[in-house]
Amino acid sequence: MQPSATTADETEVAGPAHVATVSFLASRAVPSGGFFVALAGGMALARVAHRRGARQGYGASAAAVLETVAIMGPARFSVPFTQAVTAPMLGRLEARSVAALAQVVACTGLRVILNAIGVGFFIWVVGGLETYAGSYDAIAERFGFNVSERDTVLVTLAGLLIWGVFASVVQVWVYRRGLREWGTPTDESQEPPAAAGPHDGRFDPRAVALAAVIGFGVLLASTEWIVLAAVAGWVGLAWALSRPDSSAAPTGLVLASVLAVSALVFTLLGGLGLDLALRRAARAGLLVIVATWLRAAAGADGLREVFRRVLGRLGWLPGARETAGVLDRIGAEGRLLAAGRSLTASLDGVPTSPKPVLDAVLAWVASEAGRFRAGLTPPRLTLRSGLPDVALLLVVLASAGTLAA
Protein backbone atom coordinates (compact mmCIF):
# COMPACT_ATOMS: atom_id res chain seq x y z
CA MET A 1 0.00 0.00 0.00
CA GLN A 2 1.16 3.53 -0.81
CA PRO A 3 1.05 6.56 1.45
CA SER A 4 -2.36 8.10 1.28
CA ALA A 5 -1.35 11.73 0.81
CA THR A 6 1.49 14.02 -0.03
CA THR A 7 3.05 16.07 2.74
CA ALA A 8 1.33 19.22 1.42
CA ASP A 9 -2.07 17.52 1.39
CA GLU A 10 -1.53 16.19 4.89
CA THR A 11 -0.55 19.62 6.21
CA GLU A 12 -3.22 21.70 4.48
CA VAL A 13 -6.16 19.29 4.20
CA ALA A 14 -5.89 16.11 6.25
CA GLY A 15 -4.27 17.82 9.25
CA PRO A 16 -7.03 20.40 9.75
CA ALA A 17 -9.67 17.71 9.07
CA HIS A 18 -8.10 15.64 11.87
CA VAL A 19 -8.29 18.66 14.21
CA ALA A 20 -11.92 19.25 13.21
CA THR A 21 -12.73 15.62 14.00
CA VAL A 22 -11.22 15.90 17.48
CA SER A 23 -12.98 19.22 18.14
CA PHE A 24 -16.35 18.08 16.82
CA LEU A 25 -16.23 14.86 18.84
CA ALA A 26 -15.50 16.86 21.99
CA SER A 27 -18.32 19.30 21.20
CA ARG A 28 -20.78 16.40 20.97
CA ALA A 29 -19.51 14.83 24.19
CA VAL A 30 -19.69 17.86 26.49
CA PRO A 31 -23.09 18.42 28.15
CA SER A 32 -23.18 22.14 27.27
CA GLY A 33 -21.15 24.75 25.42
CA GLY A 34 -20.64 22.55 22.38
CA PHE A 35 -20.62 25.57 20.06
CA PHE A 36 -17.52 27.00 21.73
CA VAL A 37 -15.74 23.64 21.78
CA ALA A 38 -16.42 23.21 18.06
CA LEU A 39 -14.87 26.59 17.22
CA ALA A 40 -11.41 25.04 17.00
CA GLY A 41 -12.60 22.52 14.41
CA GLY A 42 -14.47 25.16 12.44
CA MET A 43 -11.40 27.37 12.35
CA ALA A 44 -9.30 24.46 11.01
CA LEU A 45 -11.84 23.85 8.23
CA ALA A 46 -11.90 27.55 7.37
CA ARG A 47 -8.12 27.28 6.93
CA VAL A 48 -8.53 24.46 4.38
CA ALA A 49 -11.02 26.47 2.31
CA HIS A 50 -8.90 29.60 2.66
CA ARG A 51 -5.81 27.83 1.31
CA ARG A 52 -7.18 25.15 -1.00
CA GLY A 53 -10.61 26.30 -2.16
CA ALA A 54 -14.25 25.59 -1.32
CA ARG A 55 -14.31 22.08 -2.77
CA GLN A 56 -11.42 20.90 -0.60
CA GLY A 57 -12.82 22.81 2.36
CA TYR A 58 -16.20 21.15 2.18
CA GLY A 59 -14.58 17.78 1.43
CA ALA A 60 -12.53 18.07 4.64
CA SER A 61 -15.61 19.24 6.54
CA ALA A 62 -17.79 16.37 5.36
CA ALA A 63 -15.01 13.86 6.11
CA ALA A 64 -14.61 15.19 9.66
CA VAL A 65 -18.36 14.98 10.29
CA LEU A 66 -18.59 11.44 8.90
CA GLU A 67 -15.61 10.39 11.00
CA THR A 68 -17.32 11.66 14.16
CA VAL A 69 -20.45 9.70 13.21
CA ALA A 70 -18.36 6.57 12.63
CA ILE A 71 -16.77 6.92 16.08
CA MET A 72 -19.71 8.19 18.13
CA GLY A 73 -22.81 7.48 16.08
CA PRO A 74 -25.42 10.10 15.11
CA ALA A 75 -26.12 11.23 18.71
CA ARG A 76 -25.99 15.06 19.07
CA PHE A 77 -24.97 15.28 15.44
CA SER A 78 -26.38 18.80 15.14
CA VAL A 79 -24.03 20.38 17.73
CA PRO A 80 -21.07 20.99 15.37
CA PHE A 81 -23.07 20.74 12.15
CA THR A 82 -23.67 24.45 11.60
CA GLN A 83 -19.95 25.17 11.92
CA ALA A 84 -19.14 22.29 9.59
CA VAL A 85 -21.38 23.94 6.97
CA THR A 86 -20.44 27.59 7.52
CA ALA A 87 -16.69 27.32 8.20
CA PRO A 88 -15.57 26.58 4.61
CA MET A 89 -17.76 29.42 3.35
CA LEU A 90 -16.15 31.85 5.78
CA GLY A 91 -12.69 30.63 4.82
CA ARG A 92 -13.35 31.40 1.15
CA LEU A 93 -14.89 34.79 1.94
CA GLU A 94 -11.82 35.69 3.97
CA ALA A 95 -9.54 34.54 1.15
CA ARG A 96 -11.38 36.98 -1.15
CA SER A 97 -10.99 39.81 1.40
CA VAL A 98 -14.74 40.10 1.98
CA ALA A 99 -15.52 42.51 4.83
CA ALA A 100 -16.16 41.06 8.27
CA LEU A 101 -19.70 42.49 8.39
CA ALA A 102 -20.61 40.79 5.12
CA GLN A 103 -19.21 37.52 6.49
CA VAL A 104 -21.37 37.88 9.60
CA VAL A 105 -24.47 38.51 7.50
CA ALA A 106 -23.81 35.50 5.25
CA CYS A 107 -23.04 33.23 8.21
CA THR A 108 -26.12 34.41 10.11
CA GLY A 109 -28.42 33.72 7.17
CA LEU A 110 -27.10 30.20 6.65
CA ARG A 111 -27.01 29.46 10.38
CA VAL A 112 -30.62 30.61 10.91
CA ILE A 113 -31.82 28.41 8.03
CA LEU A 114 -29.99 25.35 9.38
CA ASN A 115 -31.19 25.92 12.94
CA ALA A 116 -34.76 26.49 11.74
CA ILE A 117 -34.67 23.12 9.98
CA GLY A 118 -33.44 21.53 13.22
CA VAL A 119 -36.18 23.18 15.28
CA GLY A 120 -38.73 22.13 12.66
CA PHE A 121 -37.63 18.51 13.01
CA PHE A 122 -37.85 18.76 16.81
CA ILE A 123 -41.38 20.18 16.52
CA TRP A 124 -42.28 17.28 14.23
CA VAL A 125 -40.93 14.74 16.73
CA VAL A 126 -42.72 16.21 19.74
CA GLY A 127 -46.03 16.24 17.89
CA GLY A 128 -46.33 19.23 15.60
CA LEU A 129 -46.79 22.97 15.90
CA GLU A 130 -50.03 22.67 17.88
CA THR A 131 -48.27 20.73 20.64
CA TYR A 132 -45.22 22.98 20.57
CA ALA A 133 -47.28 26.17 20.75
CA GLY A 134 -49.66 24.69 23.31
CA SER A 135 -46.85 24.02 25.75
CA TYR A 136 -45.68 27.63 25.52
CA ASP A 137 -49.24 28.89 25.90
CA ALA A 138 -49.72 26.75 29.02
CA ILE A 139 -46.60 28.28 30.57
CA ALA A 140 -47.56 31.84 29.52
CA GLU A 141 -51.04 31.48 31.05
CA ARG A 142 -49.42 31.11 34.47
CA PHE A 143 -48.17 34.69 34.06
CA GLY A 144 -51.43 36.04 32.66
CA PHE A 145 -50.54 35.96 28.94
CA ASN A 146 -51.96 34.16 25.94
CA VAL A 147 -49.58 32.90 23.26
CA SER A 148 -50.94 31.89 19.85
CA GLU A 149 -49.27 29.59 17.35
CA ARG A 150 -48.24 32.65 15.34
CA ASP A 151 -46.69 34.25 18.42
CA THR A 152 -44.80 31.05 19.19
CA VAL A 153 -43.37 30.93 15.67
CA LEU A 154 -42.33 34.59 15.83
CA VAL A 155 -40.67 34.19 19.23
CA THR A 156 -38.86 31.06 18.04
CA LEU A 157 -37.61 32.80 14.89
CA ALA A 158 -36.51 35.83 16.92
CA GLY A 159 -34.55 33.54 19.24
CA LEU A 160 -32.91 31.82 16.27
CA LEU A 161 -31.98 35.20 14.78
CA ILE A 162 -30.49 36.51 18.03
CA TRP A 163 -28.45 33.35 18.51
CA GLY A 164 -27.49 33.34 14.84
CA VAL A 165 -26.09 36.87 15.01
CA PHE A 166 -24.17 36.20 18.24
CA ALA A 167 -22.73 32.88 17.06
CA SER A 168 -21.80 34.32 13.66
CA VAL A 169 -20.01 37.29 15.19
CA VAL A 170 -18.02 34.92 17.40
CA GLN A 171 -17.24 32.60 14.50
CA VAL A 172 -16.05 35.34 12.17
CA TRP A 173 -13.92 36.97 14.84
CA VAL A 174 -12.32 33.70 15.96
CA TYR A 175 -11.75 32.38 12.43
CA ARG A 176 -10.20 35.64 11.20
CA ARG A 177 -7.93 35.76 14.22
CA GLY A 178 -6.91 32.14 13.74
CA LEU A 179 -6.25 32.53 10.01
CA ARG A 180 -4.19 35.66 10.61
CA GLU A 181 -2.06 34.06 13.32
CA TRP A 182 -1.73 30.53 11.89
CA GLY A 183 1.74 29.40 12.89
CA THR A 184 4.44 27.45 11.10
CA PRO A 185 4.19 23.63 11.50
CA THR A 186 6.61 22.12 13.98
CA ASP A 187 9.10 19.42 13.07
CA GLU A 188 7.55 17.03 15.57
CA SER A 189 5.39 14.44 13.83
CA GLN A 190 2.76 11.98 14.92
CA GLU A 191 3.07 8.27 14.56
CA PRO A 192 0.75 7.08 11.78
CA PRO A 193 -2.11 4.92 13.01
CA ALA A 194 -2.17 1.22 12.37
CA ALA A 195 -4.54 -0.08 9.74
CA ALA A 196 -7.95 -1.07 11.03
CA GLY A 197 -8.75 -4.74 11.49
CA PRO A 198 -11.62 -6.53 9.77
CA HIS A 199 -15.22 -5.87 10.70
CA ASP A 200 -16.24 -8.40 13.37
CA GLY A 201 -19.93 -7.63 13.80
CA ARG A 202 -22.58 -10.24 13.11
CA PHE A 203 -24.39 -8.21 10.45
CA ASP A 204 -23.12 -6.63 7.24
CA PRO A 205 -22.82 -2.85 7.94
CA ARG A 206 -24.75 -2.17 4.74
CA ALA A 207 -27.69 -4.19 6.04
CA VAL A 208 -27.43 -2.42 9.40
CA ALA A 209 -27.50 1.00 7.73
CA LEU A 210 -30.48 0.05 5.55
CA ALA A 211 -32.35 -1.39 8.53
CA ALA A 212 -31.75 1.82 10.49
CA VAL A 213 -33.02 3.97 7.64
CA ILE A 214 -36.19 1.86 7.39
CA GLY A 215 -36.60 2.08 11.16
CA PHE A 216 -36.33 5.87 11.08
CA GLY A 217 -38.94 6.04 8.34
CA VAL A 218 -41.38 3.82 10.24
CA LEU A 219 -41.02 5.85 13.42
CA LEU A 220 -41.52 9.15 11.61
CA ALA A 221 -44.63 7.79 9.90
CA SER A 222 -46.60 6.73 12.98
CA THR A 223 -46.82 6.77 16.77
CA GLU A 224 -49.34 3.93 17.06
CA TRP A 225 -48.53 1.50 19.86
CA ILE A 226 -48.36 -1.50 17.51
CA VAL A 227 -45.76 0.29 15.38
CA LEU A 228 -43.72 1.40 18.37
CA ALA A 229 -43.83 -2.10 19.84
CA ALA A 230 -42.71 -3.62 16.54
CA VAL A 231 -39.75 -1.24 16.21
CA ALA A 232 -38.77 -1.71 19.86
CA GLY A 233 -38.96 -5.48 19.40
CA TRP A 234 -36.73 -5.69 16.34
CA VAL A 235 -34.14 -3.20 17.61
CA GLY A 236 -33.95 -5.02 20.95
CA LEU A 237 -33.51 -8.39 19.24
CA ALA A 238 -31.02 -6.97 16.75
CA TRP A 239 -29.00 -5.38 19.55
CA ALA A 240 -28.80 -8.68 21.40
CA LEU A 241 -27.68 -10.60 18.29
CA SER A 242 -25.36 -8.10 16.60
CA ARG A 243 -22.23 -8.42 18.79
CA PRO A 244 -22.37 -4.65 19.24
CA ASP A 245 -19.60 -2.20 20.03
CA SER A 246 -21.42 -0.39 22.82
CA SER A 247 -18.86 2.36 23.46
CA ALA A 248 -21.28 5.04 22.25
CA ALA A 249 -24.32 3.52 23.98
CA PRO A 250 -24.20 5.58 27.22
CA THR A 251 -24.33 8.87 25.31
CA GLY A 252 -27.11 7.58 23.09
CA LEU A 253 -29.21 6.37 26.00
CA VAL A 254 -28.86 9.68 27.82
CA LEU A 255 -29.91 11.59 24.71
CA ALA A 256 -32.82 9.18 24.17
CA SER A 257 -34.02 9.87 27.72
CA VAL A 258 -33.73 13.65 27.30
CA LEU A 259 -35.61 13.67 24.00
CA ALA A 260 -38.30 11.32 25.33
CA VAL A 261 -38.88 13.48 28.42
CA SER A 262 -39.01 16.60 26.23
CA ALA A 263 -41.66 15.05 23.99
CA LEU A 264 -43.64 13.90 27.04
CA VAL A 265 -43.58 17.33 28.70
CA PHE A 266 -44.40 19.28 25.52
CA THR A 267 -47.39 17.04 24.74
CA LEU A 268 -48.74 17.11 28.30
CA LEU A 269 -48.40 20.89 28.51
CA GLY A 270 -50.23 21.10 25.17
CA GLY A 271 -53.19 19.34 26.82
CA LEU A 272 -53.29 16.44 24.36
CA GLY A 273 -53.58 13.65 26.90
CA LEU A 274 -51.35 11.07 28.55
CA ASP A 275 -51.72 8.37 25.90
CA LEU A 276 -50.51 10.56 23.06
CA ALA A 277 -47.77 12.00 25.27
CA LEU A 278 -46.45 8.52 26.06
CA ARG A 279 -46.55 7.48 22.41
CA ARG A 280 -44.66 10.55 21.27
CA ALA A 281 -42.13 10.13 24.06
CA ALA A 282 -41.60 6.50 23.06
CA ARG A 283 -41.08 7.48 19.42
CA ALA A 284 -38.57 10.20 20.33
CA GLY A 285 -36.56 7.79 22.47
CA LEU A 286 -36.68 5.04 19.85
CA LEU A 287 -35.36 7.37 17.15
CA VAL A 288 -32.19 7.87 19.17
CA ILE A 289 -31.96 4.20 20.17
CA VAL A 290 -32.12 3.11 16.51
CA ALA A 291 -29.36 5.62 15.68
CA THR A 292 -27.27 4.33 18.60
CA TRP A 293 -27.78 0.72 17.49
CA LEU A 294 -26.61 1.70 14.00
CA ARG A 295 -23.23 2.76 15.41
CA ALA A 296 -23.02 -0.21 17.78
CA ALA A 297 -23.92 -2.88 15.24
CA ALA A 298 -21.98 -1.51 12.25
CA GLY A 299 -18.92 -0.43 14.24
CA ALA A 300 -16.65 2.49 13.39
CA ASP A 301 -14.83 0.63 10.62
CA GLY A 302 -18.08 -0.69 9.18
CA LEU A 303 -19.66 2.78 9.04
CA ARG A 304 -16.52 4.19 7.42
CA GLU A 305 -16.72 1.48 4.76
CA VAL A 306 -20.40 2.25 4.13
CA PHE A 307 -19.56 5.95 3.82
CA ARG A 308 -16.71 5.18 1.39
CA ARG A 309 -18.94 3.08 -0.83
CA VAL A 310 -21.74 5.64 -0.84
CA LEU A 311 -19.26 8.41 -1.66
CA GLY A 312 -17.85 6.25 -4.45
CA ARG A 313 -21.29 6.04 -6.02
CA LEU A 314 -21.71 9.80 -5.62
CA GLY A 315 -18.45 10.62 -7.38
CA TRP A 316 -20.38 12.93 -9.74
CA LEU A 317 -21.39 15.10 -6.77
CA PRO A 318 -19.06 18.09 -6.14
CA GLY A 319 -16.85 17.38 -3.13
CA ALA A 320 -17.63 13.65 -2.91
CA ARG A 321 -14.21 12.52 -4.15
CA GLU A 322 -12.47 15.01 -1.89
CA THR A 323 -14.49 13.78 1.08
CA ALA A 324 -13.61 10.14 0.37
CA GLY A 325 -9.92 10.99 0.00
CA VAL A 326 -9.75 12.85 3.32
CA LEU A 327 -11.81 10.19 5.11
CA ASP A 328 -9.24 7.59 4.08
CA ARG A 329 -6.47 9.61 5.71
CA ILE A 330 -7.80 10.88 9.01
CA GLY A 331 -8.67 7.72 11.01
CA ALA A 332 -8.95 9.47 14.35
CA GLU A 333 -9.66 6.83 16.98
CA GLY A 334 -6.03 6.06 17.75
CA ARG A 335 -5.10 9.74 17.95
CA LEU A 336 -7.82 11.19 20.16
CA LEU A 337 -5.99 10.64 23.42
CA ALA A 338 -2.73 12.02 22.04
CA ALA A 339 -4.53 15.10 20.69
CA GLY A 340 -6.20 15.64 24.06
CA ARG A 341 -2.87 15.43 25.86
CA SER A 342 -1.38 17.88 23.39
CA LEU A 343 -4.18 20.38 24.00
CA THR A 344 -3.87 20.00 27.77
CA ALA A 345 -0.14 20.69 27.52
CA SER A 346 -0.83 23.77 25.39
CA LEU A 347 -3.19 25.15 28.04
CA ASP A 348 -0.85 24.44 30.95
CA GLY A 349 0.01 27.68 32.70
CA VAL A 350 -2.26 29.82 30.48
CA PRO A 351 -4.23 32.47 32.43
CA THR A 352 -7.88 31.46 32.78
CA SER A 353 -9.35 34.37 30.84
CA PRO A 354 -10.98 34.17 27.41
CA LYS A 355 -8.36 35.80 25.18
CA PRO A 356 -5.27 33.92 26.44
CA VAL A 357 -7.18 30.62 26.36
CA LEU A 358 -8.41 31.34 22.83
CA ASP A 359 -4.92 32.17 21.61
CA ALA A 360 -3.53 28.99 23.18
CA VAL A 361 -6.24 26.88 21.54
CA LEU A 362 -5.68 28.52 18.14
CA ALA A 363 -1.96 27.88 18.44
CA TRP A 364 -2.73 24.24 19.26
CA VAL A 365 -4.98 23.98 16.19
CA ALA A 366 -2.15 25.10 13.90
CA SER A 367 0.42 22.91 15.67
CA GLU A 368 -1.76 19.79 15.74
CA ALA A 369 -2.72 20.20 12.10
CA GLY A 370 0.91 20.76 11.09
CA ARG A 371 2.16 17.72 13.00
CA PHE A 372 -0.42 15.41 11.47
CA ARG A 373 0.92 12.64 9.26
CA ALA A 374 -1.49 10.31 7.51
CA GLY A 375 -0.82 6.61 7.69
CA LEU A 376 -1.22 4.11 4.91
CA THR A 377 -4.59 3.95 3.22
CA PRO A 378 -6.48 1.30 5.20
CA PRO A 379 -7.51 -1.82 3.32
CA ARG A 380 -11.13 -1.92 2.22
CA LEU A 381 -13.26 -4.12 4.41
CA THR A 382 -14.61 -7.23 2.75
CA LEU A 383 -18.36 -7.09 3.24
CA ARG A 384 -20.45 -10.18 2.59
CA SER A 385 -24.19 -10.36 3.05
CA GLY A 386 -25.65 -13.61 4.35
CA LEU A 387 -28.74 -15.17 5.85
CA PRO A 388 -28.47 -13.16 9.10
CA ASP A 389 -28.60 -9.93 7.08
CA VAL A 390 -31.61 -11.14 5.10
CA ALA A 391 -33.34 -12.11 8.34
CA LEU A 392 -32.57 -8.71 9.86
CA LEU A 393 -34.09 -6.86 6.91
CA LEU A 394 -37.15 -9.12 6.87
CA VAL A 395 -37.81 -8.40 10.54
CA VAL A 396 -37.42 -4.66 9.93
CA LEU A 397 -39.77 -4.81 6.95
CA ALA A 398 -42.25 -6.71 9.08
CA SER A 399 -42.25 -3.80 11.52
CA ALA A 400 -42.88 -1.48 8.57
CA GLY A 401 -45.84 -3.69 7.67
CA THR A 402 -47.53 -2.75 10.95
CA LEU A 403 -48.17 0.69 9.42
CA ALA A 404 -50.93 -0.95 7.41
CA ALA A 405 -52.54 -2.14 10.62
Amino acid 30 reads V
Residues 109 and 252 grouped into a single domain: no
* In contact, 212 and 290? CB cutoff 8 Å: yes
Helix (H) / strand (E) containing 89: helix 81-95
Residues 295 and 318 grouped into a single domain: no
Give a yes or no: residue 2 inside a domain.
no
The per-residue pLDDT for 185 is 53
The per-residue pLDDT for 4 is 43
Give the separation between CA 40 and CA 363, rounded to whole angstroms.
Answer: 10
Residues 393 and 265 grouped into a single domain: yes
Residues of the chain with pLDDT under 50: 1-6, 187-189, 191-198
Give a yes or no: residue 380 inside a domain.
no
pLDDT digits (tens, 9 = 90+) for 50-88: 999 999 999 999 999 888 888 877 777 788 899 999 999
The per-residue pLDDT for 183 is 64
The per-residue pLDDT for 71 is 80
* In contact, 375 and 331? CB cutoff 8 Å: yes
The per-residue pLDDT for 318 is 82
Residues 241 and 153 grouped into a single domain: no
The per-residue pLDDT for 329 is 79
Give the separation between CA 64 and CA 13, rounded to whole angstroms.
Answer: 11
Give a yes or no: residue 237 inside a domain.
yes
Positive/negative CA dihedral, 215, 220, 226, 228: positive
Give a yes or no: residue 189 inside a domain.
yes
The per-residue pLDDT for 348 is 82
Residues 188 and 335 grouped into a single domain: yes
Residues 134 and 282 grouped into a single domain: no
Closest CA to 245 of 288, 200, 285, 195: 200
Residue 98, classed as helix, strand or coil, is: coil
Residues 347 and 245 grouped into a single domain: no
The per-residue pLDDT for 220 is 85
Give the separation between CA 107 and CA 120, rounded to whole angstroms.
Answer: 20
Give a yes or no: residue 306 inside a domain.
no
Number of domains in the chain: 2
Instruction: Give the other-Cβ count within 10 Å of 207's Cβ.
Output: 21
Tell me phi and psi for residue 237, to 5 degrees.
-65, -45
Provide the domain limits for residue 190.
7-197+314-371
Give a yes or no: residue 382 inside a domain.
no
Within 13 Å, how many C-alpha atoms sit on residue 54's CB side?
9
Give a yes or no: residue 357 inside a domain.
yes
Residues 45 and 85 grouped into a single domain: yes
Residues 144 and 163 grouped into a single domain: yes
Residues 159 and 42 grouped into a single domain: yes
Q: Residue 294: CB partners within 8 Å, gap ≥ 6?
A: 73, 74, 208, 209, 212, 303
Burial class (CB in 10 A: 0-12, 13-18, 19+), 223: buried
Residues 153 and 39 grouped into a single domain: yes
Residues 140 and 250 grouped into a single domain: no
Cα 115-120-121 angle, rounded to 5 deg: 100
Give a yes or no: residue 66 inside a domain.
yes
